[in-house]
Amino acid sequence: MPLNNVAVAVVNGVAPFELGIFCEVFGIDRSAMGLPTYDFAVCAAEDDKVVSGDGLFDLTLHHGLDRLEEADLVCLPADRTAPTRDYPEPLLAALNRAVDRGARVLSVCSGAFLLGAAGLLEGRRCTTHWMHAPALRRRFPRALVDPDVLYVDEGSVITAAGTASGIDACLHVVRQEQGAEVANTIARRMVVPPHRDGGQAQFIQRPLPRTTCDTVGEVIGWMARHLEEEITVEQLAERAHMSPRTFARRFLQETGTTPYQWVLRQRVLLAQELLESTDETVDAIAGRCGFGTAAALRHHFLRTLDTTPNAFRRTFRGPRAVA
C-alpha–C-alpha distance, residues 114 and 92, integer Å = 8
Residue 323 has pLDDT above 60, yes or no: no
C-alpha count within 13 angstroms, C-beta hemisphere, residue 48: 1
Residue 65 phi/psi, 5-degree rounding, is -65, -25
- Quick count: other Cβ atoms within 10 Å of Cβ 23? 15
Highest mean pLDDT: which of 117-126, 185-194, 208-217, 309-318? 117-126
C-alpha–C-alpha distance, residues 309 and 323, integer Å = 9
If asked whether residues 286 and 192 sit together in one domain, one would say no
Tell me if 323 is assigned to some domain.
no
Q: Name all contacts of 57-65 with Cβ < 8 Å and 24+ positions apart.
A: 57/16, 59/10, 59/14, 61/10, 63/7, 65/9, 65/90, 65/91, 65/94
The confidence score (pLDDT) of residue 245 equals 92
Boundary of a domain, candidates 172, 201, 230: 201
If asked whether residues 156 and 192 sit together in one domain, one would say yes
If asked whether residues 172 and 26 sit together in one domain, one would say yes
CATH of the domain at 83: 3.40.50.880
If asked whether residues 264 and 149 sit together in one domain, one would say no
Tell me if 208 is assigned to some domain.
no
Confidence of residue 322 (pLDDT cuts 50, 70, 90): very low
What is the mean pLDDT of the segment spanning 273-286? 89
**Enclosing H/E stretch for 39:** strand 39-44
The confidence score (pLDDT) of residue 201 equals 60
Contact 7, 41 (CB under 8 A): yes
**pLDDT tens per residue, range 153-181:** 999 999 999 888 999 999 989 988 888 78
C-alpha–C-alpha distance, residues 309 and 317, integer Å = 12
**Rg, Å, the chain Cα set:** 23
Q: 3-class DSSP state for residue 13?
A: coil
Confidence of residue 211 (pLDDT cuts 50, 70, 90): very low
What is the mean pLDDT of the segment spanning 210-231? 77
> What range defines the domain where residue 239 resides?
217-317
Tell me the pLDDT of the chain averaged across its residues.
87
If asked whether residues 135 and 263 sit together in one domain, one would say no
User: What percent of the chain lies above the pLDDT cut of 70?
Assistant: 90
Residue 202 has pLDDT above 60, yes or no: no
Tell me if 65 is assigned to some domain.
yes
Task: Lowest mean pLDDT of 93-97, 211-215, 299-303, name the range.
Answer: 211-215
C-alpha–C-alpha distance, residues 112 and 129, integer Å = 9
**pLDDT tens per residue, range 7-65:** 999 998 899 999 999 999 999 999 999 999 999 999 998 877 788 877 778 888 989 99
CATH of the domain at 275: 1.10.10.60
Question: What's the maximum distance between 2 C-alpha atoms anywhere in the chain?
Answer: 74
What is the mean pLDDT of the segment spanning 188-200? 73
Structural domains counted in the chain: 2
- Integer CA distances (angstroms), 49 to 13, 60, 62, 288, in order: 11, 5, 9, 56
If asked whether residues 120 and 193 sit together in one domain, one would say yes
The confidence score (pLDDT) of residue 188 equals 86
